[in-house]
Amino acid sequence: MNKKKAGWLLYKEGYTDQEIADAFQLTSRTVRSWISSENWKEKKEKLEAIQENLEEGLLELIEYQQTVLLLKKEERRKDIEAVKKGNKKAEALTLIDKGEIDALQKMYSSVKGKPRTWSNYVEITNEFLSFMKEVDLQIAQKIVEPMQIFLNEKRANL
């Protein structure tokens, strides 16, 4: 990936022209020219508007799904109470079907998101350390201890 494409990815994430320039050892003038010539500001605004609309739509769907699930839960609770009181036979109770279980799992995953794991941190820091060994062995040796402290702190907080 070239610097301009990588810069665009950073710009979309909210990095300033100076931060992007620093990341790639460029002048902020160069990055500002990319922002202008490639219409990054307008593209970012459009993407943010699309993202906002998608999020609002998904939240509405999740809210609808949640409401339906709560109503079904209440119906099942009433059915269980009726069985306990002898007003209904236990055979009349229905299990949650596979489709509803799948929907619940998907909804839970989309709300919760993918968790960061200890192995993710170890993998990324090891990749970075290997890269630094190729770039500058002395710097790599100096950052081993701070990286271990970082990993230990992350492990303690997971």
pLDDT attached to residue 40: 95
DSSP letter string over 21-49?
Answer: HHHHT--HHHHHHHHHHTTHHHHHHHHHH
Instruction: Assign 143 a pLDDT band (cuts: 50, 70, 90).
Output: very high
> pTM higher than 0.85, yes or no?
no
pLDDT attached to residue 109: 77
Euclidean distance between CA atoms 25 and 132, whole angstroms: 17
Q: What are the start-end ranges of the H helices in 86-136?
A: 98-112, 118-135
Residue of 1 and 107 predicted with greater confidence: 1
Instruction: Assign 66 a pLDDT band (cuts: 50, 70, 90).
Output: confident
Structure tokens at 80: 């269980």
Residues of the chain with pLDDT > 70, as a percent, come to 99
pLDDT attached to residue 61: 85
